[in-house]
A and B are shown apart, each in its own frame.
Chain A
Amino acid sequence: MPPSFYILAALTIAATAAALSLRNLVHCALALSVAFIGLAAVYLQLDAQFVGLAQILVYVGAVSILVVFAILLTRNDEATKPLVSRFSVAGAATALVVLGVLTWAIDKSEFTHRKLPPAPAATVRQIGDALMTHYVLALEVIALLLTAALIGAVIIAMHNEEPKS
């Protein structure tokens, strides 16, 4: 393993833990974008350049900004309230059990003990060719889904005034 992987993994996990545990919501959003940048760097390290750059564009550029907007639009003075819900102990136990099962499965699997093959060529041209030929139907479906989600999000969040008559 290259040492850069361990640095990136530590950064990503620390930023994720911060994003989910900090008290100030704006700090959570900033830690979330650091976690997304760390994941994008892991993708780049895995020779998936296009997905890494798409991750930066979509998650760091769009989703983090959306989260900041939502935080600013729903600001109130509940910062002093207890942070976690009634289910905190059960939730943490569930997450620990899931982590234990996943770690056990990864450790037991034969497939995970293979070595890194030589870097495959995944240029943007090849990805574009695949999207326009073999996956064109999926591309159209995702375009329709994104359009519907855009219109739906605007309609849901729109403030409809009561007609004064």
Chain B
Amino acid sequence: MSSLSSYLLLSAFLFALGLAGAITRRNAIIVLIGVELMLNAANLNFIAFWRFGDHPEALTGILFAIFSIGVAAAEAAVGLALIIAIYRQYKTTNLDRIDSMKG
């Protein structure tokens, strides 16, 4: 077991856990937490490939991770605002009950 694959395996575990949480849980906030954890798993991949890559002086992985953190922060703010607005309308954050657009 080499070094890079340990980091990639940790990232794969985090991604699978986040995916399982995002699909199976009913609460919208936990689903958003699952999406955030999947984004973090991708960030870990960027950093690991930067560290083990051939040209670390180009800083590409670091800068991609920084921009990804920025986009994830924007996504969390808008997502949680949407959840609060939906809660005001339906008085629930249970995703199985927010189905008024269902045909």
Chain A positions near chain B (C-beta within 8 angstroms): 1, 5, 9, 12-13, 16-17, 19-21, 25, 28-29, 32, 35-36, 39, 42-43, 46-48, 50-51, 54-55, 58-59, 62-63, 66-67, 69-71, 73-74, 76, 78, 81-88, 90-92, 94-96, 98-99, 102-103, 106-107, 109, 111-117, 120-122, 126-127, 130-131, 135, 138, 142, 145-146, 148-150, 152-154, 156-157, 159
Contact = CB atoms under 8 A, between A and B. Distances in A.
Contact of A126 (B17, B59, B85): B59
Residue among A99, A126, A138 with the highest chain B CB neighbour number at 10 A: A99
26 contacts: A12-B14, A16-B14, A17-B17, A20-B21, A25-B27, A29-B33, A39-B44, A42-B7, A42-B44, A50-B62, A54-B69, A58-B69, A67-B33, A70-B83, A74-B29, A76-B92, A84-B24, A85-B26, A91-B24, A103-B12, A112-B8, A116-B52, A127-B66, A149-B75, A154-B81, A157-B80
Contacts, number: 242
Contact of A13 (B17, B24, B67): B17
Given A95-B20, A106-B5, A66 B59 contact: no
Contacts of B43: 39, 51, 55
Contacts of A126: 59
How many of chain B's residues touch chain A, expressed as a range?
A: 35 or more
Interface SS majority for chain B? helix
A59 B62 contact: no
Central interface residue in A16, A21, A35, A150, by most chain B CB within 10 Å:
A16
